[in-house]
A and B are shown apart, each in its own frame.
Chain A
Amino acid sequence: MADAEVAERLVAPPAAPVAAAGRAGTLAGELQAEATHALAQAGLQPAVTRPRRKINWLIVTGGVILALVLGLTLAAPMLAPYHPAEQRARERLQGPSRAHPMGTDRLGRDIYSRVLYGGQTSLSASSIALGVTLTIGVALGLLAGYAGGWVDGAIMRLVDVLLAFPSFILALIVAGLYGPGLLKVVLAATAVWWVSYARVTRSLVLQAKQEGYVQAARAAGARPLSIAVREVLPQILGPIVVLATLNLGRLILTLSGLSFLGMGAQPPTAEWGLMLSEGKAYFMEFQHMMVFPGLMIFVTVLGLTLLGEGLRDVLDPNGAAGRA
């Protein structure tokens, strides 16, 4: 939602200021030349690309959180004491207890079980959306960056126009017009979200095209497609993985937000955003209905964010994923 919105635009500042701001002149080059020089002489990499042997705590923490969430979700059939749709009229609107660790909702369904199963819905929907987005975005970005000319122009104009829409609103309206449903929401999000991958991929391709080894491959007569796949793709993989990890978190927020509004997953599906929406009506008296699904969304996105930032340190030291 807001983050998605902002982050998407983050990758689209006007071109001129970037060129101006990107002007050389940070101290690293000039000031520490001597220390860096000395390091280089000692047969070591200069400070900027020095491999870190330190444990990356961001990756560890994020990974552990995600492993827990994923484990709970996948093991839902074993861990859940009840079926997610099982209604027990006598046990409606109960607070957390031994029988219902997270309480029950207005239909007497066990929230703990629904939270576990809800993860399956939320995570798989977001992952599918990410997969489609990624494929379209990277493919179009590669095409635009590599082909150049009018192909590039056409794709980038489309990107510009899509950026002129507030993406969350667009997804909302598509879902509204074509009827609610998780699949439709996923498609709507996909239609807008590929843009950031296309931009990042394109700029990385443009950068890679300048590299000596790509120029060499061209001079050696390699076919454009084979260069794109064999030389360029591996180079841009790191930033893309970072962006995808961070975006998966934002997609979970967006999709659960749309479900919260009643546009995404429909009852009686167990889905975190929808559960929150159902809990909203009762939050004055029964907070447990909204606390636990929200907590799950928060923890999952936190894990993905930590992991993404940790991966950025390792895979994308130049920050291309956030800059492009």
Chain B
Amino acid sequence: MLQYTARRLLITVPVLWAAFTLSFLLIRAAPGDPVDIMFGPQESGGGVEAVTKEQKDQRRRELGINQPLPVQYVAWFGRVLHGDIGTSFKSRRSVFVELQQRLPATLTLAAASFTIKVVVVVGLGILAAAKVGSIWDHLVRLFALVLIAMPSFWLGLLLLWLFAVHFQWVTVAGPATPQRVVLPAVTLGLVTAPTVMRVLRASLLAELGRAHVVFSRAKGLPEHLILWRHTLRLAMLPAVTLLGISLTYLMTGSVIIESVFSWPGVGKYVMDSIQARDYPVIQGFVLLATAITVFGNLLVDLAYGLLDPRIRLGTAGQT
């Protein structure tokens, strides 16, 4: 297992590096000079503090963006390695601190919606597969179809309307209280559930069709053991992949859901930063999102190893 983990970790490094580099190029290739944008609003704001070209050049030197791109890249990369991902143009505070402050709200939402998602996926997925062809199966599949076509922002607004306006059970705006997390979490959990649910149902059906299930029945094993011990484990593999990947998605913040529910998380902060052209924040967020995604994929790989001994012991290639 140790060797397997090490191998997976090693593969992660180049992907992470490439993703970082790509995000650097992406942002540097964007039109508009950050310094112009930085001082832009002040210039138009009455000209109280007219910014000269010298001052701008000075600022560019401070930021190091007057140097050739490769030099900037190396310097930037060095700073990133030291944990310094920049300073917000807007607030003049460390991007790291800014993101850190908003991360708990996003993580709360992620954890709550992930829990709801797992319950929906596992519960309904198993129900549909174990009772394949029954009315339950059909209902679950219809439910999944409806959720797939549902725009998350519309579902969010409908839920808000129903529970905040009609029943007045929750408040529409305010701080990130446990009571307020319910609706965004349900919305996020539901709209991300159907794909995984369908994958789980399909893979469980495939597993239940395997020869070893016939053998287990022939040796007299009760059906509940066949389901829980013999088939669910392997059937979970594809679902675990998707769940793991969606976890990273949830952690980087669902920008849309946070926007719909005015949830004070990372997503909303990034939206504001994009509107203000606060490049270091955007860049920092891309780094964070990439790192979490890569890390999440790594966790998924490791979960595979735990669930399937053939992978852990490096014999998956053999048939």
Contacts and interface: CB of A to CB of B under 8 A. Distances in A.
A and B, direct touch (CB closer than 8 Å) = yes
Interface of A: 1-3, 5-7, 9-10, 13-14, 16-17, 19-21, 23-28, 30-31, 157, 160-161, 164-166, 168-169, 172-179, 249, 253, 256-257, 260-263, 273, 276, 279-280, 283-284, 287, 290-291, 294-295, 297-299, 301-302, 304-306, 309
The residue in B18, B153, B165, B172 that gathers the most chain A C-beta atoms within 10 A of its C-beta is B153
Contacts of B149: 249, 298-299, 301-302, 304-305
B10 interface: no
Given A161-B19, A302-B145, A173 B274 contact: yes
B317 A169 contact: no
Interface in B5-45: 15-16, 18-19, 22-23, 26-27, 30-31
12 contacts: A3-B148, A6-B195, A6-B196, A14-B304, A23-B319, A161-B15, A161-B22, A164-B15, A165-B289, A176-B274, A257-B152, A287-B161
Contacts, number: 203
- 6 closest Cβ contacts across the A-B interface? A176-B274, A294-B154, A302-B149, A177-B30, A16-B316, A301-B149
A179 B154 CA distance: 25
Nearest to A157: B18
Contacts of A262: 275
Interface stretch (B96-104, B130-138, B255-263): B255-263
B211 interface: yes
Contacts of A17: 237, 304, 308, 311, 316
A305 B277 CA distance: 37
Nearest to A161: B18
Given A20-B308, A166-B249, A257 B30 contact: no
Interface in B107-165: 145-146, 148-154, 157-158, 160-161, 165
B293 A164 contact: yes
Interface stretch (B73-81, B87-95, B239-247): B239-247
B183 interface: no
Contacts of A7: 195
Interface stretch (B58-66, B186-194, B223-231): B186-194
B290 A13 contact: no
B254 interface: yes
Nearest to B238: A13
A173 B26 contact: yes
Interface majority SS (helix, strand, loop, mixed), chain B: helix
Nearest to A295: B154
A16 to B, nearest CB: 4
A262 B23 CA distance: 22
Given A21-B237, A283-B160, A2 B191 contact: yes
B271 to A, nearest CB: 6
B175 interface: no
Contact of B214 (A31, A164, A175, A179): A31
A280 to B, nearest CB: 6
B85 interface: no
A251 B165 CA distance: 31
A257 B248 CA distance: 19
Contacts of A174: 26
Contacts of A304: 149
B308 A165 contact: no
B96 to A, nearest CB: 18
A39 to B, nearest CB: 18
B297 interface: yes
Residue among B160, B271, B274 with the highest chain A CB neighbour number at 10 A? B274
B274 A165 contact: no
Interface string B281-308: 0100110011001100100110010001
